[in-house]
């Protein structure tokens, strides 16, 4: 599981940073991926990665500000030209269906795949499949904004290969059944119990991706014990009053949320265009006094998610 940052700037792009979007890639599942926000130019940023629109099956929008949304219609229509693109599900706040419906209707766009748009209420939990659930909560921004907590269900334990060989289980489909918790019968009539050859399950990974927000209790709740927290850091330390006025956070405030939530790692993004890369580096160095496991995202940064 890997995060790929496609856009990391706040409000408007810079020569180095596009506006907001981050992909969550599942290489173990034939490289399918999810997208969180789609600012203008997101599909152009995708061209610089190995991500293919035919492998995109879910999009999550945090809120209706343009730097998180204006790239979505173009991305949806371009997906039509990718062979093998199946059903696409898009989730987001109230107004998303009207926005997309209007743009696609007025532009007379024709999609050759099924598009399902779901407007969700903060607090909803999405049980998406047998591997992941997504919890949501309302953040503290100028307009309604949703934060997402992606939780992987517990993963099966490792196969004990030595025990399998000792018990005479041939490599192949039986291994898969045992790993899934199924007991199997061998040709000699003996039964192999899954519990005999599979170790204890391991905790699933947790990724929290927040939209624009001032520091709030729901940010802490969504980030509790996360393996990776993605939090905005529009402003540098000392600009807390301005950040509050605009419904944003400083990098030090983001570090404080990660510390309170006991997150393992913090990646800050949505960085104001006023800051050059040297200034960002200085901001990070200062904020690490609050939370050492902090890194500033940059476009095309890839972050592995490990428990």
Amino acid 89: pLDDT: 97
pLDDT in tens, 129-149: 878 999 999 999 999 999 999
User: Rounded to whole angstroms, how far apart are CA atoms 153 and 168?
Assistant: 31
Active site residue 67: yes
**Is residue 231 a known part of a binding site?**
no
| Fold classified for 2-155+202-304 | Metallo-beta-lactamase; Chain A (3.60.15)
How far is C-alpha 227 from the geometric centre of its chain's CA atoms?
12
pTM: predicted TM-score of the whole model, two decimal places: 0.89
pLDDT in tens, 184-200: 999 888 999 998 888 88
**Residue 224 belongs to what H/E stretch?**
none
Asked if 21 contacts 49 with a C-beta cutoff of 8 angstroms, the reply is no
Amino acid 294: pLDDT: 98
**Is residue 270 a known part of a binding site?**
yes
pLDDT in tens, 99-132: 999 999 999 999 999 999 999 999 999 988 878 9
More confident site: 106 or 177: 106
Active-site annotation holder among 37, 57, 67, 140: 67
Which one-letter DSSP state was computed for residue 214?
B
Give DSSP secondary structure letters for 63-116: -S-GGGTTTHHHHHHHHTTSTT---EEEEESTTHHHHHHHHHHHTT---SS-EE
> Does residue 154 surpass a pLDDT of 80?
yes
Mean pLDDT over 249-257 rounds to: 98
**Is residue 65 a known part of a binding site?**
yes
Residue ranges of domains in the chain: 2-155+202-304, 161-197
Amino acid 179: pLDDT: 84
**Is residue 68 a known part of a binding site?**
yes
Amino acid 189: pLDDT: 86
User: Rounded to whole angstroms, how far apart are CA atoms 5 and 189?
Assistant: 53
Contacts of 268 (CB under 8 A, 6+ apart): 230, 231, 232, 233, 251, 254, 284, 287, 294, 295, 296, 297
> Does residue 28 surpass a pLDDT of 80?
no
**Is residue 67 a known part of a binding site?**
yes
- Residue 181 binned pLDDT confidence (cut-offs 50, 70, 90): confident
Amino acid 155: pLDDT: 78
């Amino acid at each position: 599981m890997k995060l790929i940052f496609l856009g990391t700037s706040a409000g408007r792009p810079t020569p180095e940073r596009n506006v907001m979007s981050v992909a969550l890639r599942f290489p173990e599942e034939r490289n399918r991926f999810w997208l969180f926000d789609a600012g203008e130019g997101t599909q152009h940023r995708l061209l610089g990665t190995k991500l293919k629109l035919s492998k995109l099956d879910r999009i999550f929008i945090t809120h209706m500000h343009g730097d998180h949304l204006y790239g979505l219609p173009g991305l949806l229509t371009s997906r039509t030209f990718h062979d093998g693109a199946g059903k696409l599900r898009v989730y987001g706040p109230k107004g998303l269906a009207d926005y997309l419906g209007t743009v696609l209707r007025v532009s007379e766009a024709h999609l050759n795949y099924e598009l399902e748009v779901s407007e969700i209420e903060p607090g909803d939990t999405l049980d998406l499949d047998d591997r992941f659930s997504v919890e949501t909560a309302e953040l503290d921004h100028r307009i309604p904004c949703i934060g997402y907590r992606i939780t992987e269900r517990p993963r099966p334990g490792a196969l004990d290969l030595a025990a399998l060989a000792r018990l005479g289980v041939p490599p192949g489909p039986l291994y898969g059944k045992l790993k899934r918790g199924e007991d199997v019968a061998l040709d000699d009539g003996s039964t192999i119990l899954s519990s005999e050859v599979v170790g204890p399950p391991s905790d699933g990974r947790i990724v929290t991706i927040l939209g624009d927000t001032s520091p709030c209790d729901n940010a802490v709740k969504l980030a509790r014990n996360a393996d990776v927290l993605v939090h905005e850091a529009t402003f540098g330390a000392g600009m807390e009053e301005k950040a509050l006025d605009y419904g944003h956070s400083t990098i030090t405030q983001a570090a404080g949320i990660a510390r309170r939530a006991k997150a393992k790692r913090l990646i800050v993004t949505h960085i104001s265009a006023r800051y050059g890369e040297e200034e960002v580096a200085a901001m990070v160095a200062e904020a690490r006094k609050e939370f050492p496991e902090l890194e500033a995202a940059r476009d095309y940064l890839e972050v592995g998610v490990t428990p």
